Structure 1
Amino acid sequence: MGIYRIGTATVNQTPLDWTNNIFQLKKALNEAQNEGIEILCLPELSVTAYGCEDLFLSQWLPEKAKSFLPELIAETKGLFTSFNLPLFFENRLYNCAVVVHDQKILGVYAKQYMALDGVHYEPRWFNPWPIGKVSEIEIDGANYPIGDLTFDFKDWKIGFEICEDAWRGTIRPAHRLCEKEVNLILNPSASHFAMEKTLQRIDLVKNSSKDFKCTYVYSNLLGNEAGRMIYDGEMMIAQNGELILRNELLSFQPHQVIWADVNSDGNTQPQNISPIDAKEIEFPKAAGLALYDYLRKSRSNGYALSLSGGADSATCAVLVAEMVKRAIGTLGQSTFLKSINRLDLEGKSQKEIVGEIFATAYQGSTNSSDDTLNAAQELANSIGATFYHWTIDRAVENYTSTIETALNRELDWETDDITLQNIQARSRSPIIWMLANIKNRVLLTTSNRSEGSVGYATMDGDTSGSLAPISSVDKVFIRKWLAYAEEHLGYTGLAKINSLAPTAELRPKDQHQTDEDDLMPYPILLAIEQLAIRDHQSPKEVFANLKNKGLEDENLLKDHIIKFYKLWSRNQWKRERLAPAFHLDEFNVDPRTWCRFPILSAGFVEELKEL
C-alpha cells in the first residue's frame, strides 16, 4: 500500500473544433505529467465534445475522433488515463473510454446506461453495452478487449462508470465493480449544469466511495460547449464517504487539472475542498461563462439588447457585464480580448470594454413611462453599455392606419386590446435587429421561464433574437436575484428597476398595466408550474398539493390552475419558436431540450372539468 497522486481534469471543448479539442487534452496531459500525477480522469466524450447531436449518427465523425488516438496516446508517458470518444463496434455506436497506460492501450470500457431524461437523448445516438459482455475491438491494426472491464494498476484495481452509469441506483455498474473488489472507480462525465445540482453530485461521489469501499474520482466537462448546455467543470475525489478534493466550478480557463495524494489503504486526509456556491452566486457565474463561450465560439462582435427598464432585460444586461468582469478577472485582459478577437480594446477600462461590445436601446412609446426610461438609462450607464433611445410611435401609427384602412374601421382598446399591444412589441423588433446587424452583435431576447410557460410574450416582438439567456429561469428568482445583485454585487444602477412592478407598458398609462394583473401572482405561477411541468402532474394533483399551503383562497387557486393549463396548452407553438436558451435551472420549457408537448391538443378539457 502507498501514496499515489491521482488527478482529475476538465476541458472546454467544441463540436468539430478538432484542433482546440486535441490541444486542450494535450495541455491537460502535459500539466498532469508536470505535477507528477499517475492516474488521471478526463471527462466524457472529451475528444469530440458531448454536444455533437446527430453528427454522432454519421460514420465519419467517430472515425475521425479515433484517428486522433495515436497522438493523444503518445502524450501519456507515465500516466494511467482514458480518452473518451464514440467508437463503432460491430456496426453499432458506443460511448467509450479507451483506457491507456504509459503510451499503450489496455482496453476499452463501454458505457452501459444511456441518459434519456430532461435534456438528454443519448439512445438516439448510442447503444448500451450489455452487462458482463467482453469482446475484442480493432484499433490501428491491433486487437484490444472492449466492454465490461476492470484494469490493474499497482495497488489499484480500477473500474469505470461513465456519467449516467452512476445514476442508476441498485443496477449501476459500481455494485458489480465492488463484487470484483475494485478499489478505484473513475467517472468521466458530461453532466449539464443546473443551479444547486452540485449538491446531488457531491452526495453521489461521497456515498459511492463509502457504499462501494473505494476511492471515487469524478471529472465533468466545462463551458458552453455547443450553445445550450453549460458544463461546470466539477472535479472531485472521495474516499470512505468523505471528500478529499473539489474544485471551484465554472472557470473561464480552457482547461483545469487538480490532484490529491491518495493513500491506497483508505486513510487519506481531505485536501483543497472549494466551498459550495449559493444559487445566487452560481447563476451569474454560469450565465457569464455561457455568454463568454457563446460570444467567442459564434465569432460575433458582441451583444445587443432592447433594454426596457424591466427586470428581465436588466438581468440580461447585468449578466453581460458579469461576463466581462469575470473573464478579465480570470483570464486577464489581454487573453480575454484575444479570445474574442478584440485586441484593439487593450488598455481600456472594464466599463469601456462593455461599451464597445454591448449595445442597448430603450424603445419607448406613448405608453412608456419616464420611470422605465430613467431606469434603463441609469443601468446602462452604470455598467458602461452603449445606450440608445428612440420611439416607435410612428411605426405603430403606420401599421395601425394601414390595417384600419383595409378593414374600414378604427381600432380601439376595448375591442382590439391584444392586437394593439402586440403591434408595439413587434414594431420594436425590426429596429433592434438593424442595430444588431450593423454592429455584428448577437441579439438577446429577454423571455423568462414563467412567461414561456403561459405564452406571455409577443411572437416576432419581444421574442425576436438569437439567444435567450434567461428563458429557463423563473420570474420569482429573477426578481430576488436582481435585489441580490444590487446589494452584494455592486450593481447600484439596478435601484430604480428593483423599485418598479413588472409591466409590459403596452396599454395606455391610465390602465396601470402590470404583469401579475394580466397573469397571476408570480409565486403562484411558479408553484403551479413546478408541479404541472417539472413533475408532470394533472390539474387535480396540482390543486391537491397546493390547497393546504396557504398560498391563496382555494377558489382563486383553482381559477389560477385552470388559467395556467389553458395558457400552457394554447401557447406551445410559441415555445417551439423561442430563441436558443441556456439551461440554468432544474427544468425548462424549451421543447428542444427539456419539455416536449403537442402543439395541438384538447387542452386538458376533461382534466379541468374534474378540477
Structure 2
Amino acid sequence: MKIMMAQVAPRVGDIKFNTRLVLGAMQRAEDAHCDMLVLPELVLTGYPPEDLLLRHAFMREVDEAVAQIVANARQAVVVFGHPRLVDGDLFNSATLAANGKLVGVYDKRALPNYGVFDELRYFTAGSGADVFEVHGWRIGVGICEDLWDDELAESVASRPRDVLLNLNASPFHLDKQLEREALMQRRAVRFGVPAVYVNPVGGQDEIVFDGGSHAMDASGVLLARAPMFECADVLVDVAASCGEVTPMPDTMSQIHCALVLGVRDYVRRNGCSQVLIGLSGGIDSALVAALAVEALGAEQVLGVLMPSRYSSDHSISDAEALVANLGIESIMLPIESPVAAVDALLAESFAMWGLSAADVTEENVQARIRGLLLMAVSNKTGRMLLTTGNKSEMAVGYATLYGDMAGGFAPLKDVYKTQAFALARHINRHAVLIPESTISKPPSAELRPDQMDSDSLPDYAVLDEILQSYIELGQDMAHIAARGFESGLVERVIRMLYIAEYKRRQAPPGVKITQKAFGRDRRYPITHGFREHLA
C-alpha cells in the first residue's frame, strides 16, 4: 500500500486556494502511482477557522469544495479534512473518496478544549464508523485529538483494519514532535497495523504548524518522516516498510525555524511584504531584524535608529554594524528634540501638582515618542512594524504601552531572554550577523543615565527560571522557593506577573513556541483579587 502524505500549507478561510492545494496533491499522487493520499485536518478551511464556521456563506463554499474534490478523485483514495454541517450540527470531518465517488466520512470524536484549541465551541463529537473498506483495504481513520485520547483509542483498538490514518492540525511547541512520534509508536503497536500521521505547515496568527508528518510500521518502527517547517510530499509503502526519514532538527533550530515561518506567514498573509524595526543596538531588536531578513529578504526590512541623550556610543555603533551585516536599509531619527518638546509641554502642569521630579514618566515619554515615530513610518510606507519585546519582559511588564509595545507582530513574544541570547549565538553559528558586542554587553533600556535592566529586574537566568517554573511547569511559589530561590524575590516576580496582565492584553500577537504562551494558552483575568503568598 503506497501512501502519499501531503504536508501542505493551507490558509485559513481561503477555501479556493486550499481546494487547489488538495487537487494538486491528488494529481501528484496519481502521477506517483499511489494507492492513497492523506491530507491534514480541516485542510479545506485551514486551522483554526474559529467563528468563520458560523457563517452560512463560508460553509456553503466548503460544501462546494468537498463536492468538487470527490468528483475529481481517481484511483488513489483521497482522505482530507473539512467541517461538515448536518441538521444543525457541525462536525470536524474527514472524507474518503475514490473514482469520483464518496467512500465514507469520519467525524472527529475527541474534541480538544484547552490551550489553543476551542473545538467544543463549534463542533459536535462524532459517533459513526471509523473503519472504511475501499479497494480491498480496511482503512481506519482518526483526527488529531482522537489519537491522544487513551480511552477512545482503547475502545476501537480491536476493530480489524489494515492501516491507521490520523489527520492533524497540531501546532508547534518545544519537543512536540518527540511527543507525537512516541504516541504514534504506542498506537501502532497497540492497533497492530501501520500508522500514518499527517500535519500541515505554516503560520496562523500566533500558531505555527511545523509539519513533521510521519509513518510507523506495525511494530512501532519509524518508516518515514517529512521535513519540519516546509511543505513536502512524502511517500511511504506501509506493506513493504519502505520510506524516507528526514532528520529532526535540534531544539534551537526548531525555535529558529518556527519564528522565521511565523513572521513570514503573518506578514505576507496579512497583505504586507515589508517591515520596519526600531534598532536600539540591543539583543532583542537585532534578533528580530535577523529573523525578518531570513523570513522576508533584506530588501524588505527597514531599520530605524532613534538615539537619545542616554544612548551609548556602542549602542549606535552596534546598530549600524547590524545594518551592515544584514544588508538592510536604515534611517536615523534622533528623539532628543521631540522629547524636549513634550517635557516642556508637560512641565507647567507637573509643577503645579508638585510632581516636577523626573521618574518613570519621563522614561516612558522617550519610549512612546519612539513608538510614535515608528508607527508614522509604518503608516506612510505601508510597512508592518515588528515589536521586539521578549517573554521575560512581557511577563513582568518591563515594557511601555504605546511605546516599545507598539506594532503589528511580536516575533519574540514567547521567547525568554535567555533563549534570545542562545538563539543569537545559533544564528551566528556560520557567520556573524548579530555583532558580538550586542550579545555580550549587559542589557539596558537606556532611558536614564547608566541604566541597566538589572536595576529593575533580577538576573535574567534567575528570572527566567522562576517564570518558567510558575508559567510552564505550573509550580506554586512555595515549591519554587524551596528550590533555593529567595522567597521575597519569588513573591515579587509573581506579583509583577499578575499585575502586568493588562499590558499583555494590549500587546500584538506573537509566535507561540511554548506550551503556555501568553494569550490563547494562558488566560487570566485582568481584574481579580487573588494573590499567592508564601507562608
TM-score, structure 1 normalization: 0.84
Q: How far apart, in 1, do the equivalents of 2:475 and 2:60 lie?
A: 44
2:440 maps to 1:499: yes
Instruction: Give CA-to-partner distance per residue, 1:490-519, whole Å, 9 cap, x none.
Output: 2344222112111111111xxx32213311
The answer to whether the 8 Å contact 2:198/2:214 transfers is yes
TM superposition shift of 1:63? 2.7
Pick closer, same or farther for the CA change 1:207–1:491 going to 2, 3 Å.
Answer: farther
Is structure 2 residue 504 aligned with structure 1 residue 533? no
Flag structure 2 segments of 5+ consecutive residues without an equivalent: none
Question: Percent of aligned positions with the same letter in both sequences?
Answer: 27
Q: 1:104 aligns with which of 97, 101, 105?
A: 101
Matching of residue 165 in structure 1 with residue 146 in structure 2? yes
The residue number in structure 2 matching 1:156 is 137
CA contact (8 A) 2:130 2:142 kept: no
2:529 equivalent in structure 1: 602
Taking the aligned partners of 1:563 and 1:447, their CA distance within structure 2 comes to: 21
Q: What displacement does 1:409 show?
A: 5.7
Distance, in Å, in 1 between the alignment partners of 2:129 and 2:435 is 55
Is contact 1:361-1:387 (8 Å) kept? yes
Aligned to 1:258: 234
Cα shift readout 1:328-360 (whole Å, capped 9, x = no counterpart): xxxxxxxxxxxxxxxxxxxxxxxxx51x31101
Residues in 2 aligned to 1:179 and 1:434: alpha-carbon distance in whole angstroms: 63
Cα contact 2:384–2:408 (8 A) shared by 1: yes
- Give the 3 Å change call, closer, same or farther, for CA 303–489 of structure 1 in structure 2: farther
Report the equivalent of 2:516. 587
1:165-188 deviation per Cα after TM superposition (whole angstroms, max 9, x unaligned)? 11122x13x323321122311111
Native 8 Å contact 1:482 1:494 kept in 2? no
Distance, in Å, in 2 between the alignment partners of 1:416 and 1:586 is 40
Of 264, 281, 289 in structure 2, the residue corresponding to residue 309 of structure 1 is: 281
- Structure 1: tracts of 5 or more residues without a match: 134-146, 325-352, 548-553
Separation in structure 1 between the aligned mates of residue 181 and residue 385 of structure 2, nearest angstrom: 37
The equivalent residue for 2:201 is: 222
Give 1:575's match in structure 2, choosing from 495, 501, 504: 504
The match for 2:487 among 542, 546, 558 is: 558
1:125 and 1:416, CA in 2 relative to 1: closer, same or farther beyond 3 A?
Answer: farther
SS in 2 for 1:260: strand
Q: Residues 259-278 of structure 1 correspond to what in structure 2 (within 5 A)? A: 259-263=235-239, 268-278=240-250
* TM superposition shift of 1:15: 2.3
- 2-side partners of 1:594 and 1:51: how far apart? 14
Q: Which amino acid aligns with 1:507?
A: R
- The separation in 1 between residues aligned to 2:245 and 2:96, in whole angstroms, is 28
- What letter matches 2:490 in structure 1? I
Does the 8 Å CA contact 1:569/1:603 hold for their aligned counterparts?
Answer: no
Deviations 1:166-220 (A, max 9, x none): 1122x13x32332112231111100011232111111122222122211100111
Aligned counterpart, 1:385: 328
Aligned to 1:13: 10
- Paired residue type of 2:331: Y
Query: In structure 1, what is the Cα distance between the partners aligned to 2:287 and 2:361?
Result: 28
Residues 404, 410 of structure 1: 8 Å contact kept: no
Q: What is the CA–CA distance in structure 2 between the aligned matches of 1:416 and 1:123, rounded to whole Å?
A: 52
Aligned: 1:420 with 2:380: no
Distance 1:493 1:452 in 2: 23
- Please state how far the C-alpha of 1:20 moved relative to its aligned partner: 1.2
* Letter paired with 2:495: K
Alpha-carbon separation, structure 1, partners of 2:405 and 2:58? 35
1:40 maps to: 37
* Distance change in 2, residues 1:491/1:586 (3 Å): farther
- Pairs within 5 Å for 1:35-434: 35-129=32-126, 133=127, 147-154=128-135, 156-169=137-150, 171-172=151-152, 174-224=153-203, 226-239=204-217, 240-251=219-230, 253=231, 256-263=232-239, 268-324=240-296, 354=298, 356-408=299-351, 415-434=357-376
Q: Using a 3 Å threshold, how does the CA distance of structure 1 residues 277 and 92 change in structure 2: closer, same or farther?
A: same
Task: Sort the Cα spacing of 1:482 and 1:446 in 2 relative to 1 into closer, same or farther, 3 A.
Answer: same
Partner residue, 2:458: 520
Q: Secondary structure at the match of 1:207?
A: helix
Q: Which of 80-89 and 20-29 deviates more?
A: 80-89
C-alpha distance in structure 2 between counterparts of 1:128 and 1:34, whole Å: 36
- For the Cα contact (< 8 Å) 1:157–1:184, is it kept in 2? yes
- Write the letter of the residue equivalent to 2:24: K
User: Which one-letter code corresponds to 1:370 in the other structure?
Assistant: D
* Counterpart-to-counterpart distance in 1, 2:468 and 2:437: 30
Separation in structure 1 between the aligned mates of residue 453 and residue 99 of structure 2, nearest angstrom: 62
The alpha-carbon deviation at position 320 of structure 1 amounts to: 1.2
SS class of match (1:179): coil
In the alignment, the residues of structure 1 paired with residue 245 and residue 280 of structure 2 have an alpha-carbon distance, to the nearest angstrom, of 42
Deviations 1:552-605 (A, max 9, x none): xx5xx2122111121112111001000011112332122xx111111112251x
Deviation at 1:34, TM superposition (A): 0.6
Please say if residues 2 and 36 of structure 2, whose CA atoms lie closer than 8 Å, have aligned partners that are also in contact: yes
Q: Secondary structure of the equivalent of 2:316?
A: helix
User: Which secondary structure state, in structure 1, belongs to the residue aligned with residue 238 of structure 2?
Assistant: strand
C-alpha separation in 2, matches of 1:191 and 1:301: 27
Q: Give the Cα separation in 2 of the matches to 1:248 and 1:320.
A: 22
- What SS does the corresponding residue of 2:527 show, helix, strand or coil? coil
Q: Give, in whole Å, the separation in 2 of the partners of 1:111 and 1:269.
A: 28
What is the deviation of 1:154? 4.5
Deviations 1:79-100 (A, max 9, x none): 1122311111231111011121
2:61 counterpart SS class: helix
Q: For each residue in 1:429-466, what CA deviation from the matched residue of structure 2 results, as whole angstroms up to 9, or x when unmatched?
A: 11111212222111000111111111110000000001
Asked if the contact 1:469–1:582 (Cα under 8 Å) also holds between the matched residues in 2, the reply is yes
Equivalenced residues, count = 534
CA distance in 2, matches of 1:603, 1:560: 19
- SS for the counterpart of 2:2 is strand
Is contact 2:15–2:61 with CA below 8 Å preserved after alignment? Answer: no
Stretch deviating more after TM superposition (199-208 or 20-29): 199-208
Query: Could you list the per-position Cα deviations for residues 21-69 of structure 1 after superposition, in whole angstroms to 9, with x for gaps in the alignment?
Result: 1111111111111111111211000011112111112333223201112
Report the counterpart of residue 444 of structure 1 in structure 2: 386
Quote the Cα distance in structure 2 between the aligned partners of 1:307 and 1:398: 23
- Whether the aligned pair in 2 keeps the contact of 1:46 and 1:84 (CA below 8 Å) is yes
2:431 paired residue number: 490
